[in-house]
Amino acid sequence: MSMEAFFSPRSVAVVGASREKGKVGHEILASIVRGGYEGKIFPVNPKAADVEGIPCHPDLKSIGETPDLVVIVVPARVVPMVMEECAAVGAKAVVVITAGFKEVGDDGKALENRILGIAKRAGIRMIGPNCLGVMVPSHKLNASFGGDLPVPGGIAYLSQSGALLAAILDLANANGIGFSKLVSIGNKADVDELDLIRAFGQDPETKVIAGYLESITHGNAFVREAEGISAEKPILLMKSGGTGAGAAAASSHTGSLAGGETAYEAVFERAGIVRCSSIKEQFDHAQAFAQQPLPEGDRVAVITNAGGPGIMAADAIERQGLTFATLAEDTEARLAEGLPAAANIHNPIDVLGDALADRYELALDIALDDPNIDVVLVLLTPQAMTECAATAEAIVRVSKAKPGKPVLAAFMGARQVGEGIQALRQGGIPQYDSPEAAVATIRVMANYVRWRARPKRVVRLFPVNRRRVERIIDRYLRRHLREIGEMESKEILEAYGFVTPKGSLATTAEQAESIAEQLGYPVVMKIWSPDIVHKSDVGGVKVGLRKASDVRDAFDLMMYRIPKKMPEADILGVLVQEMCSTGQEVILGMNRDPRFGPLMMFGMGGIMVEVLKDVSFYLAPLTAQEARQMLKNTRTYQMLRGVRGQEGVDIDAVAEGLQRLSQLVTEFPQIQEMDINPYVVGLVGTSPIAVDARISVEGSAD
């Protein structure tokens, strides 16, 4: 079923409509009436003759026809009975305003499951329970108790918090911000954020999708579909409620660093979603997307009547990584001809403090013709001669006459610029309280344009030995072991094309010496125990051993000291390995998020990874471009490229390692966490070495 019955119903029934002002049942019916809804309204209340002058019905059946939309505002214990009535009369769209469900505990959760079961059996789509309601300004529908209906506009809004939506609505009404749809999803027992984003994506009235979420229900589907929708319409979300819970139990570096917010950051980046940190920031961005065309690039020109704000804008443009536009010669010539001699005809274009509306109009008209400019930001400070309202009207006029490039404004001040701000809003010019806020929005728009222009995602598949990996993982799962040993972990990596150091397990000092002689010095020795995750912490790693006596001493010392530190550990021996040649140490890792799947990690390797936390994350599977971007998102990348005359390492080889690891964890969902640390990478043409590896699998076989 589509969401059409929620957004353009021909009739609305309010079950629980009340005559008593102040009660939710009364406020919702009054809001529908006050909003000017033109369809049929059916109050349902067996104890009232009428509400708001509209005749009441004792139940849904007595209405005599099936309402397109049913809004339920009765006590929680009565909601199942009303849902059964909805099923009996054939209603297909229901909004349950009532609270007292899963948000209050187990009994409420059972009640919520009961009404959801009724809805699913009857083919009813349900918004809520525990929600504020639905608003559709263009349809004059205000089936909520959130406040007055806003003006129609291009922003669709969904919120998991009813209280926050009420605050957003009040702010929007105070500032004349228009909406196409507003939906409070509450407990989202049935209709959730993905349903609404799909609907908003298909809605011709909606230009921008915005919202507030505390959780995402269908992780993989959300990523996949949001990515497709973002390619057509920007999605701007506030997301709260993320925690690092569970990180303390992680056995890998990746798992301990992948906090609750990390996955959401990776999801939003992959899907092209703009993450907003506040309501103000969200509205700043949403207005520009809804009211202005997308810029072709990031070259910004500034028009101002004061030098200070122009410099502030220039600084903000540089800090945000945008391009301060260089004006074309023809543009500067036209400006010189039309502006006073004292005006600045370069960027920022300073029309001087005595500028009237006509001077702004001329400068903007010329700037919009310049092929070197992608966005124009108009600044105004109220001075004695300033014509705030007339200037705003001139900006609107020129922008509408030349609509190909976005125009944003920052009229700075309060009372004196009030009329001008009002004229800008009415004319569809986004208005900001500072140059910095406007430039932040321009950056978001430019980044979104770049994201839409990204190459098509192509995930490379490498020839691998999957059967070898299956045998190892199955063996551990049958034995109910979570941590795969280092030797078997390296076997898994070798099956996926990684190069690992040569080495063998020794159970005596003599064996260790013999293995070292065969490998050739220097060698590395590591304690081998399934119970010791971080070997260095217990003195279980010795490097650079160059003679037989060093190997024997290291073996004896480990086998003497470590059992005293960890008496419960099952120590199987010591792994003797060849020592890798010099190179840069990095870490490749993965932590499987329960909602979104494998979360890949790259960063500085060795023992400092959790101290420096110079890491980046991205969702698997990775393309070559995404793997390289993961590298670029860290400070480590500059070291890999080479600094102070040192030759850089093989960047492509590191990116390929990330792609191979991505393929491994995508093809084997049993793998929950893993690290390759250190992953030693050398000059171009040399093979990176997976020196150490750690893999955790799900606790038992299915």
Residues of the chain with pLDDT > 90, as a percent, come to: 78
Residue for token pair 């698997």: 620
Distance CA 247, CA 24 (A): 42
Q: Which pLDDT score is estimated for 257? A: 60
List pLDDT tens digits, range 179-223.
Answer: 999 999 999 999 999 999 999 999 999 999 999 998 888 888 999
Q: In the predicted model, what is the mean pLDDT of residues 50-60? A: 93
Distance CA 407, CA 514 (A): 75
Residue 120 has a CB neighbour count (10 Å cut-off) of 12
Taking the domains of the chain in order of start, what are their residue ranges? 4-206, 293-452, 466-578, 584-697
Pairing of strands 689-690, 671-681: antiparallel
Strand pairing partners for 376?
A: 301, 407
List pLDDT tens digits, range 636-656.
Answer: 888 888 776 677 889 999 999
Residue 147 or 325, more confident: 325
Confidence of residue 271 (pLDDT cuts 50, 70, 90): very high
List pLDDT tens digits, range 621-641.
Answer: 999 999 999 999 998 888 888
Q: What does the block give as tokens for 620? A: 């698997």
Q: Which pLDDT score is estimated for 27? A: 95
Pairing of strands 693-697, 483-484: antiparallel
Q: Which pLDDT score is estimated for 701? A: 41
Cβ atoms of 55 and 77 within 8 Å: the answer is no
Mean per-residue pLDDT of the chain: 92
Confidence of residue 246 (pLDDT cuts 50, 70, 90): very low
| Residue 46, amino acid | P
List pLDDT tens digits, range 127-181.
Answer: 999 999 999 999 999 999 998 999 999 999 999 999 899 999 998 898 889 999 9
In 3D, which of 204, 337, 221 has the Cα closest to residue 271?
Answer: 221
Domain 584-697 bears CATH identifier 3.30.470.20: yes
List pLDDT tens digits, range 450-507.
Answer: 999 999 999 999 999 999 999 999 999 999 889 898 889 999 999 999 999 988 899 9
pTM beyond cutoff 0.95: no
Strand pairing partners for 592?
A: 598
- Return the CATH number of the domain spanning residue range 4-206: 3.40.50.720
Q: May I ask the CATH class of domain 466-578?
A: alpha beta
Q: Radius of gyration over alpha carbons of the chain, in Å?
A: 32
Cβ atoms of 71 and 145 within 8 Å: the answer is no
Q: In the predicted model, what is the mean pLDDT of residues 331-347? A: 96
In this predicted structure, the answer to whether residue 232 has a pLDDT above a threshold of 80 is yes
Residue 611 or 428, more confident: 428
Distance CA 572, CA 652 (A): 37
Confidence of residue 248 (pLDDT cuts 50, 70, 90): very low
Q: Which pLDDT score is estimated for 572? A: 87
In this predicted structure, the answer to whether residue 378 has a pLDDT above a threshold of 80 is yes
Distance CA 608, CA 123 (A): 55
Asked whether the domain spanning 466-578 has the same topology as the one spanning 4-206, the reply is: no
Q: What does the block give as tokens for 236? A: 């701007």
- Return the CATH number of the domain spanning residue range 293-452: 3.40.50.261
